[in-house]
Copies of this chain bind each other. A is one copy, B any other.
Amino acid sequence: MLTISDVNEFSYEQFVDTFKNIIEKCPIAAGSIYEDRPFRSVSCLQASVRGFLKDLPYNAKIGLIRCNHDLVGKLATAGLLSKESTLEHRAAGLESLSTEEKAMMDKLNSKYKAKFGFPFVICSRKNDVSTILNGMEARLERDKDSEIATTLAEIENICWLRLSDIVKD
């Protein structure tokens, strides 16, 4: 576990290498927030990530969401998720779905992607199989802009937990 002082002494290369996946497959977030050093606390790091997300153009926000994988999708089945995603899947019990739950999740993933053009994203570590399936059904009813906002909030939640695994005040 790093302290905020350790982080403030990092070169950009150490910083990007350490935080490259706090947002899934988006190392430019780490490269960008490095510009905001020094950080007084982990909250300041969070604020910097929030600023990065907020300032992205609309299409880039959607692009960032599209770099997330399906929950319990092909990559998960093939063992090709990022290290962080694998642990998050496990935490939510997504590695041991019943046949019915897996079929339901596949169906809802497909419907969601067909409607919005990006994957369903939720902070697994704050949920379980039941709240995730209910969340998928509820969010399928919403409009695209609401879903973009909700998804970015979920990405922030995922990011805070990933950050808290790496650095503390």
User: A residues near B, CB below 8 A?
Assistant: 11-13, 16, 25-36, 52, 55-57, 59-60, 62-67, 113, 117-118
Contact = CB atoms under 8 A, between A and B. Distances in A.
Contacts of A59: 32-33, 35-36, 52, 55
Nearest to A23: B28
Given A16-B67, A66-B16, A67-B16, A28 B117 contact: no
- The A contact surface, by secondary structure, is helix
Nearest to A73: B13
A34 B66 CA distance: 10
A25 B34 CA distance: 17
B12 A35 contact: no
A32 B16 contact: no
Contact of A32 (B25, B31, B63): B63
A21 to B, nearest CB: 11
Contacts of A67: 16, 27-28, 31
Contacts of A13: 66, 113
A60 B63 CA distance: 14
B56 A12 contact: no
Contact of A55 (B27, B36, B60, B66): B60
